[in-house]
Amino acid sequence: MRPDGDAIGSVAALTLILRKLGAQAEGCIPDPVPWFYREVSGTRVLRTVEELRGKEFDTVVVLDSSDLDRIGDAVELFPARTPDVVIDHHVTNSGFGLLNLCAPDYAAVALIVHEIGKRLVEYDRELAELLLLGIATDTGFFKYESVDAQVFEAAAELARYGARIQPIASAVLEHRTPNTIRLLTEMFHTLHLELGGKLAYAYVSAGMLRRTGCREEDTEGFVGELRAIHGVEVAILFSEWPEGEVHVSLRSKSYADVSRVALRFGGGGHPRAAGCTLKVTRLEEAIYPVVAAARGLLEEAG
């Protein structure tokens, strides 16, 4: 659910790899793929749950998900509730597959798929760009602390196969519309700073989305704008959609493990990027407890 570039790139890339091997493979993302990711050509291989309902599958591979809840309605397609293979890199992974490969030292699941794929098939530009999409987005376009020699070596390999970073960067980083800018401005009007500026949080309400003509996917990257504020260690964005459901995006800059906060509320993720979803009657019911937990995390760390 709520797919990011690594989930989209990894699922699409593994689908193409399996097809190159002669398998009848389908790639599924349960939530709509944000429109700007569709500008990366290989993503058109992805299908919705509705498009695949009624088909029979004998093997299920789940990528970039820390637990079964992250699969959403796609679990309806499984021949059994337990997936055959889980490939992931989240430290909070619950090991919910029959065969589990969870490698938190890999900066992106796309890196793991690349390690598998390059041993099995010949790459073309489309496949290489899907993998580069996953690696680039999950490393913040090569600026997060997870970036190491392995990341740059894989990116160089994919570039040799024809992958281009420019169309990926343009699709992901340069897609904001005038309506999105209005929504971002409204979000900044809700900004709160605490603990001497170490904690920043803001929200996007359902009313704000309706007023600006935006969808929830248009908030992609907003939490990064909060983390970019000088002095902020932990940034939190609360996105309400639909009413009664609030998605919480947590980010940290250098030392706070925000996955600990996400786990407390049924979510998960990485030390520097995590999230959870809360069912509430009012937006404030999600904000107060999560902010309190983040405040405690920073006070403990400091």
Q: What's the total number of domains in the chain?
A: 2
Specify whether 215 is located in the same domain as 200. yes
Specify whether 167 is located in the same domain as 26. yes
Does an H or E element contain 111, and which?
helix 109-117
Specify whether 117 is located in the same domain as 211. no
Beta strands in 39-191 (DSSP E): 46-47, 61-63, 85-88, 99-102
Specify whether 75 is located in the same domain as 205. no
| Domain stops at, among 173, 199, 224 | 173
Specify whether 158 is located in the same domain as 244. no
| Domain stops at, among 173, 208, 231 | 173
* Span 144-172, pLDDT tens digits: 999 999 999 999 999 999 999 999 999 99
Specify whether 151 is located in the same domain as 22. yes
Among 289, 220, 226, 229, smallest CA distance to 261 is for 289
Specify whether 34 is located in the same domain as 137. yes
Specify whether 164 is located in the same domain as 183. no
Parts of the chain with a pLDDT under 70: none
pLDDT at 60: 97
As given in the structure block, the two tokens for residue 187 are 């979000």
Specify whether 187 is located in the same domain as 281. yes
CA distances to 179, 209, 232 from 146, rounded to whole Å, are 33, 33, 19
- Report the alpha-carbon distance of residue 294 to residue 302 in Å, rounded: 12
Q: What is the CATH number of the domain that holds 212?
A: 3.10.310.30
* Span 207-228, pLDDT tens digits: 999 999 999 999 999 999 999 9
Specify whether 125 is located in the same domain as 186. no
pLDDT at 179: 97
Q: What is the CATH number of the domain that holds 67?
A: 3.90.1640.10
Report how far apart the first and last C-alpha atoms of the chain are (Å, whole number). 34
Specify whether 146 is located in the same domain as 226. no
As given in the structure block, the two tokens for residue 177 are 């519309």
pLDDT at 222: 97
Q: CB-based contacts of 277: which residues, under 8 Å, 6+ apart? A: 245, 246, 247, 248, 266, 267
CA distances to 14, 38, 133, 292 from 43, rounded to whole Å, are 11, 6, 10, 39
Specify whether 106 is located in the same domain as 220. no
Q: What is the DSSP string of 9-46?
A: HHHHHHHHHHHHTT----EE-SSPPPGGGGGSGGGGGE
Question: Containing domain of residue 222, as a range?
Answer: 178-301
| Domain stops at, among 173, 199, 228 | 173
